[in-house]
Amino acid sequence: MNERLPQHNRADCRAARRVLEWARPGETEALPLAASNRHVESCPDCRAALERNRQLDLKIGRLCRDVPLPADLQSRLLAALQIPSDAAATDRVSKDGPMSVEVAAASVKHGPQNRLWLRHSVLAAACVFVVLGAWFVIRPPRPTLNLDELTAQVIELVDPQALPEFAVGDVPPPPRSMDTRFLRIPPKRLPGDSAALYCFRFKTPRGRIIEGRLLAVPVAQLKNAPTSSSFLGRPAVYLAQGFCSSQWAEGGYAYVCLLKGGESDLNRLLPASSVAM
C-alpha cells in the first residue's frame, strides 16, 4: 500500500479510511470529512480500498436483510396479542402506511366501542345522580343549633308559658334521670327551633317555691351536645340572672335544666327527693 505514492504515510491512510468508513448520510457532522476527502482524492490506494469496502458492505447488507419471513407471521402475532387480524387499523397501516394520530383518534371517536363507552358513561352519571339525590333526601339533618345560645334564649324568656304548645311532630320525652313529676306537659316550642321547653314548679320543704325550665333538643341538631349522660352527672353551672343549670344528653336528646337558685335546689330534682305542690 502507498508504495507508489510516498507522500502518503500509512497513518494518514488509516485515519482517512476510518473517517470515510463511518461517514453515512446524515451522520457526518462530527467527522473531519474535508481533510479525509482531500487525502483520498490524492491517494488511489485509499480510493480503491474505500470503494471495495463500500461494494462489500452493499453486498453484505443485502445478504443480511435477506431473511425470508414466515408467511403467517403477522397474523400469528396478532392472534397472540388477541387482536383480530382483519382489523381496519391493520389494513390501513399495511396498505397506506402508518396511521396518523389524528386519524386514529377520529376512528376511535366514531367507533362503536366509543359509543358503547359513551352509553356506559351516561348510565354511570345517571346512577351517581340518583344516589346523590337519594342521599340528599334521606341524609340526617346537619347540626345547626348551639345549646348555649338556646339556653341563653330560654333565660331571656319572660314568660315561657306564653309560648305555643307543641302541635305536631315528635315531642321530646321527659328525661329519666330527673324527677319529672313537676313538669308541665305538653312542652312548649321555641320559635323557629325544634327545641321543646318544659316548665316546672315545686315547693321546697321550707315552703319556698322554685320555678324552672327544662330545655330538650335532639342531639343530632346540636353542634355542641353535652358530654354528661345524666342529670347532674356534672357539677351545676351558674348562669346569668341567677340561674343555675345542668346539661346532659339522654335518649337522643340533650337536656338543660334551669332554675333560679343554687345547686342545692337542682339537687331536689334528683328522682324522689322533692315535695310536689
Q: What is the DSSP string of 39-69?
A: HHHT-HHHHHHHHHHHHHHHHHHHHHH--PP
CB 192, min distance to other proteins, A: 58
The binder of other proteins chosen from 42, 55, 161, 229 (CB under 8 A) = 55
Provide the terminal-to-terminal Cα distance of the chain, rounded to the nearest Å: 137
Q: How far apart are CA 204 and CA 76, in angstroms?
A: 101
Torsion of CA 179, 181, 186, 192, to 10 degrees: -30
State the angle between helix axes of 101-110 and 112-138 in degrees (0 to 180), rounded to the nearest 10: 60
- Residue among 19 and 147 whose Cβ is closer to other proteins: 19
Map the footprint of other proteins across residues 178-237, applying CB under 8 A.
none
- The amino acid that residue 176 corresponds to is R
User: Does residue number 89 form part of the binding site for other proteins (CB under 8 A)?
Assistant: yes
User: Does residue number 4 form part of the binding site for other proteins (CB under 8 A)?
Assistant: no
Length of the chain (residues): 277
The binder of other proteins chosen from 42, 44, 87, 119 (CB under 8 A) = 87
CB 71, min distance to other proteins, A: 12
User: Does residue number 64 form part of the binding site for other proteins (CB under 8 A)?
Assistant: yes
Contact segment (CB under 8 A) with other proteins among 33-41, 58-66, 119-127, 181-189 equals 58-66
Alpha helices in the chain (DSSP H): 10-22, 33-41, 44-65, 73-80, 88-96, 101-110, 112-138, 147-156, 263-267
The binder of other proteins chosen from 9, 41, 44, 83 (CB under 8 A) = 83
Is 120 strand, coil or helix?
A: helix
User: Does residue number 65 form part of the binding site for other proteins (CB under 8 A)?
Assistant: yes
- Backbone phi and psi for residue 88, each to the nearest 5 degrees, phi listed first: -60, -40
Map the footprint of other proteins across residues 24-53, applying CB under 8 A.
24, 26-27, 49, 52-53
Binding site for other proteins (CB under 8 A): 1, 18, 21-22, 24, 26-27, 49, 52-53, 55-57, 59-61, 63-67, 69-70, 73-74, 76-78, 80-84, 87, 89-90, 93-94, 98-99, 101, 104, 107-108, 111, 113
